[in-house]
Amino acid sequence: MEPVRITTPLTKDAVAGLRAGQQVLITGRILTARDAAHKKLIELLDQGMGLPVDISNQIIYYVGPSPPRPGQVIGAAGPTTAGRMDFYAPQLIALGLRGMIGKGFRNTAVTEAMQKYGAVYFAAVGGAGALLAQRIRAARVLAYPELGPEAIYEFEVEDFPVIVANDMYGGDLYREGRKQYALDKGEDAYA
């Protein structure tokens, strides 16, 4: 099956066409943020203040890139475990965040927010940070430079490879994989 090609910003219509298990190539601009930046964003919202970046129809890549070597745009840029952002994600999804990229499964609050507001979670291959960095054409810090690699960056990406792990319909690649494994072994996946 050919990968689905999407271009950012990520509209709700584009999200509606994605299903768990699909391979996707992303081209355009995506944001980055990890735990420290997410904490700062939520603190601003809790204080009734605006965010330093517009997250509406955006994708946030959970990554803390390493410094670039001479001649490189960015160093290794592999995904961070998404569960570390689960506490913060539902509030950002409610504000219009359409996509997230990370590794590992998401909790129920996040998947319910994705279904309610129309968002998607993409999985990127962990341990492939150097290869993924080759798909990043430009990088610039947008907010929180004091956080170093955990600052909020804007990456310009071309054919950035991901897989839809959770879609807006409740499809969950991790759950389905566990079920299939259990069926193959003749076991109960949730015993």
- For the stretch 36-47, pLDDT in tens is 999 999 999 999
Residue 176: the pLDDT is 77
Query: Across residues 55-74, what is the average pLDDT?
Result: 94
Residues marked as catalytic: 38
Neighbours of 62 (CB within 10 A): 25
| Cα gap 113→86, rounded to integer Å | 11
106: phi then psi, degrees, rounded to nearest 5? -115, 155
Q: Name the least confident of 81-85, 138-142, 152-156, 184-188.
A: 184-188
Query: Across residues 151-163, what is the average pLDDT?
Result: 97
Residue 138: the pLDDT is 96
| Cα gap 170→161, rounded to integer Å | 22
Has residue 17 got a pLDDT over 70? yes
Query: What residue ranges define each of the domains in the chain, with the CATH number in brackets?
Result: 4-185 (3.20.130.10)
Pick from 43, 61, 135, 64: nearest CA to 98: 61
Residue 178: the pLDDT is 63
Query: Across residues 180-186, what is the average pLDDT?
Result: 59
The CA distances from residue 23 to 31, 36, 98, 103, 164, in Å, are: 20, 29, 17, 15, 7
